[in-house]
Amino acid sequence: MSIVPSSAPLLFFDSGIGGLSVLKAVQDALPNAPIVFAADYAGLPYGIKTEAEISARVPALLGRLVERYQPRLVAIACNTACTIALTHVRAALDVPVVGTVPAIKPAAEATQSGVIGLLGTAATVRQTYVDKLHKDHAPNMTLLRHAAPELVSAAEAKMRGEPVDPAVYVRAMAGLMDQPDGARLDIVVLGCTHFPLVEDELRAAAPHVEFVDGAAGIVGRIRHLTKDQTWPVDPEEGTFVTTGPVARLNTLLPALFSFGLTRITSL
């Protein structure tokens, strides 16, 4: 088994800044981990893309990123990419890959009413992967699904410090609560990594509901896969790499800096 250098980073990947919700949990658990965060801004949003587009795009980009940064592990912090392309990515890369899928299992363990909501992108909520999570982990429960692409733009805007109309959050929750059985909903799976970034706003729109996301599961997987590895005592500042123009990131810089992502570059 080859020895992983302590400077080898964890590589996070998302279509945009949604993966920061996962990065935060990982940084809390592994504060000395060197970080590269890749955002596919040239491809955002993934939620309106076809399965074929995602399956071709994500492994190709990750191949280039792995070659450039030689990470110890790749964390795909994007439910859309994972529910469609996780198998393709694992087949294409020779580093461990941790994925993010909707947290239906923890939701099923926590619900009292047996009615679970799932907010995700249009591409995620229609996946057979979600049917399988439902069947495996919540077979006797009702799973209400709602595609909320507006929340992706809202999270991006919030991180840029731009105002967002609160009606966006009310509409997203109504998309679940107005369905048959929606009145019995007591837990909502945030099945897109952008959504925990606006969890406070969603909670304000539906104060009686609990929210759950996949970040804790990813932290557990990364801890497990790196348990015999070392971390630098004084890690370098994190890198943020975009597939789009760096110039478009100006208003995002304060948020990126707050995650220690100060080296900004393009792929």
Kindly name the residue from 78, 104, 115, 172 that is annotated as catalytic: 78
* C-beta separation of 74 from 66 below 8 A: yes
Range 90-149, binding ligand DGL (CB under 6 A): 121, 124
Question: In three state form, how does the secondary structure of 234-246 look?
Answer: CCCCEEEEECCCH
Q: Left (φ > 0), alpha (ψ -120 to 50) or beta: where does 75 sit? A: beta
Q: How far apart are CA 111 and CA 92, in angstroms?
A: 37
Shorter beta-carbon distance to ligand DGL: residue 80 or 226: 80
* C-beta separation of 140 from 148 below 8 A: no
H helical segments located in the chain: 20-29, 51-69, 79-92, 104-110, 122-125, 128-137, 149-159, 167-177, 199-205, 215-225, 253-258
Choose, by CB under 6 A, the member of 39, 78, 147, 187 that binds ligand DGL.
Answer: 78
Site map for ligand DGL, 17-56, x if CB under 6 A? -x-------------------------xxxx---------
Shorter beta-carbon distance to ligand DGL: residue 8 or 81: 81
Q: In the annotation, is 82 catalytic? A: no
Shorter beta-carbon distance to ligand DGL: residue 16 or 117: 16
Q: Binding of ligand DGL at residue 242 (CB under 6 A)?
A: no
Shorter beta-carbon distance to ligand DGL: residue 15 or 111: 15
Q: Which stretch binds ligand DGL (CB under 6 A): 129-137, 160-168, 190-198, 200-208?
A: 190-198
Choose, by CB under 6 A, the member of 27, 111, 142, 193 that binds ligand DGL.
Answer: 193
Q: Binding of ligand DGL at residue 14 (CB under 6 A)?
A: yes
Closest approach of ligand DGL to the CB of residue 17, in Å: 8
Core vs surface per residue 219-243: b (16+ CB within 10 A) or e: bebbeebbeeeebeeebeebbbbbb
Kindly name the residue from 65, 82, 192, 256 that is annotated as catalytic: 192
The single-letter DSSP state of residue 95 is S
* C-beta separation of 95 from 70 below 8 A: no
* C-beta separation of 180 from 107 below 8 A: no
Range 150-169, binding ligand DGL (CB under 6 A): 152
Known catalytic residues are 78, 192
Footprint on this chain of ligand DGL (rule: CB under 6 A): 14-16, 18, 44-47, 78-80, 121, 124, 152, 192-194
